[in-house]
A and B are shown apart, each in its own frame.
Chain A
Amino acid sequence: MSVPQTLAAPLLSVRGLRKSFGKSVVLTDLDLDVPEHTCTVLIGASGSGKSTLLRCLNLLEVVDDGVVELDGQDIADPRVDANAIRSKVGIVFQAFNLFPHLSVLDNVMLAPRRVHRVRRQQAESDAVAMLERVGLSDKARARPDELSGGQQQRVAIARALVNRPRLMLFDEVTSALDPELVGEVLTLIRELKSDGMTMVVATHEMGFAREVADQVCFLDGGRVLEQGPPAQIFGAPQEPRTRQFLARIVAAGRL
């Protein structure tokens, strides 16, 4: 997957993105291109703005400035229908954020039923198929708090996928999981990638990043300081800040 990405038109194209909270400027003048059917991995220190960037891409934050083009449409424009955009972009959070008062099946069916107005029968069979896809069809009737963390996260992924998003965002989806549960979630993301899903993944799992990424972006100072194929970023980083960050990761035994 290295040759075609320069040729493919980017599905997502960010130019000059700026986002601040009060006086603290989190993202500034950030550029990013995500070609279709590729996986972009965001790395960077805690607090470098990975989550904020992903939330901006899903319009969960109002940007201060810049262009976010999805499929050629500027979604940062206040005139766009934010709900329609959000249903084209799936996001999975670190803390799962399943709805605790709904069964697993109802969690997955909620958006198809209420947003896309799919008939109950259709929505249910779609949801069951999606749960099968993530290996949890036997848990359809369970409540979220009856599942393990890894299972909950797989439900969250199913809940996002059932909308058939054009773009999937993953925000440190394994950080809240026990080590032995990390694998099942990462395997699922790997499978999504081989299905051709376009993804932006924020992660601290460097081994996974190296394996799954088509491009790796190092966030620092509110910008993408350095980006390139994983071999280059992990093997021969150019920027001193990138080297520092990777050295710290190595020292922590996570590379």
Chain B
Amino acid sequence: MTATQWQPSELQRTRDAYRRSRARRSWLIALLSSAVFVGALVLSVGTSPGWPRVRESFFDLSLGWQDLPGLLRALWINVQIMLITEVFVLVFAAIIAVVRTLQGPVFFPLRFVAAAYVDIFRGLPLLLVLYLVGLGLPALRLHGAPDSPFVLGVIALTLTYTAYVAEVFRAGIESVHPSQRAAARSLGLTHGQTMRHVVFPQAVRRVLPPLLNDFVSLQKDTSLVSVLGIIDIVLTAENYQSQDFKFVHYVMAGLIFVVMTVPLTRLTDWVARRQGWQGSGGGVV
């Protein structure tokens, strides 16, 4: 079979030309509609009566640019909180998810506690959890209880995000077909081994996109720890703002968050694409 010698027929060339022209047309339409949209946005915002004032307060970027070193230094706190929280969340969420899938009446108390925990902390607003843990826990004056705002912030974030991620894991575990479990148990693997070597690896692969989604969300929510008085990027911006009453400092902090989440978002897309059914049997539909 000589792939190199094949030349498309006249008919096929007209088909290919048609497909190309359709593709060009789609691009053109996309371009045009984007231009119209952006144009309308700029026009309506730019001609609004309050725009000059808003621009001066929010978008004086030469002023905001001077914040960059200070903000980036403060960002390191957010990054530390994020990374440490993620590790805890992964471990605890996996445990809770597995506990929730345990069968048999013996495990009822465990299942109940896990379910109750998830229900409560998925429902509680994060800000409330931060106040409860960050201000309530130290107020108890328990011996040995942490009192560093950093540690308390990590605990609060972990409590909330573990509840989310545990549900993501559980959905993944339950989406693995029962025949996989049967096949593993038929080979003599225990329930635990089956989970560890057969079910969980498949589940994790399947839930990677929603998992990364939760981590992007966590990345942003680290900014809420500023309510505990941690000098993170948001509190730093607030300090700048209190000096000149310009909001551009918040805008800069926001831009930094966006720039920081973009790589993770792209990674999520890439993983999702790779997970998708492509190649064998995928085809054009």
Contact = CB atoms under 8 A, between A and B. Distances in A.
A61 B3 contact: no
Interface in B1-43: 1, 3, 6, 8-9, 11-12, 15, 18-19, 22
A61 B285 CA distance: 8
A97 B15 CA distance: 31
Interface of B: 1, 3, 6, 8-9, 11-12, 15, 18-19, 22, 283-285
A78 B3 contact: no
A33 B19 CA distance: 27
Nearest to B284: A62
Nearest to A58: B285
B283 A55 contact: yes
Contact of B3 (A20, A59, A76): A20
Contact of B12 (A25, A65, A221): A65
A114 interface: no
A23 interface: yes
Contact of A222 (B1, B283, B284): B1
Nearest to B8: A65
A18 B6 contact: yes
Interface residues of A, number: 21
A64 B11 contact: no
B15 A25 contact: no
Contact of B9 (A55, A61, A65, A222): A65
Contacts of B285: 60
Nearest to A93: B281
Contacts of B19: 78
Contacts, number: 36
Contacts of A67: 11
Contacts of A62: 284
Contacts of A60: 283-285
A23 B6 CA distance: 12
Contacts of A222: 1
Contact of A64 (B8, B18, B283): B8
27 contacts: A16-B9, A18-B6, A20-B3, A25-B1, A25-B3, A25-B6, A59-B284, A60-B283, A60-B284, A60-B285, A61-B283, A62-B284, A64-B8, A64-B12, A65-B6, A65-B11, A65-B12, A66-B9, A66-B12, A67-B11, A76-B15, A78-B15, A78-B18, A78-B19, A78-B22, A221-B1, A222-B1
Interface of A: 16, 18, 20, 23, 25, 28, 55, 59-62, 64-67, 76-79, 221-222
Among A65, A66, A77, A221, the one with the most B-chain Cβ atoms within 10 Å of its Cβ is A65
B117 to A, nearest CB: 30
Given A64-B8, A78-B19, 15 more contacts: A23-B3, A28-B6, A60-B284, A61-B283, A61-B284, A62-B284, A64-B12, A65-B11, A65-B12, A66-B9, A67-B11, A77-B15, A78-B18, A79-B18, A221-B1
Contact of B1 (A28, A55, A78): A28
A18 B11 CA distance: 13
A185 B16 CA distance: 41
A76 B12 CA distance: 9
Nearest to B2: A25
Contacts of A16: 9
Contacts of A221: 1
**5 closest A-B pairs by CB:** A65-B12, A25-B1, A60-B283, A62-B284, A78-B19
Contacts of A78: 15, 18-19, 22
A90 B1 CA distance: 31
Contacts of B15: 76-78
Nearest to B1: A25
A16 B12 CA distance: 11
Contacts of B284: 59-62
Contacts of A59: 284
A66 B10 CA distance: 10
B26 to A, nearest CB: 13
A243 B203 CA distance: 48
A28 B6 CA distance: 9
A123 to B, nearest CB: 23
A23 B284 CA distance: 18
A64 B284 CA distance: 13
A28 B283 CA distance: 19
A166 to B, nearest CB: 20
Nearest to A95: B281
Contacts of B22: 78
Nearest to A29: B6
Contacts of A25: 1, 3, 6
Nearest to A63: B12
Nearest to B22: A78
A4 to B, nearest CB: 31
Nearest to B18: A78
A49 to B, nearest CB: 11
Contacts of A18: 6
A59 B283 CA distance: 10
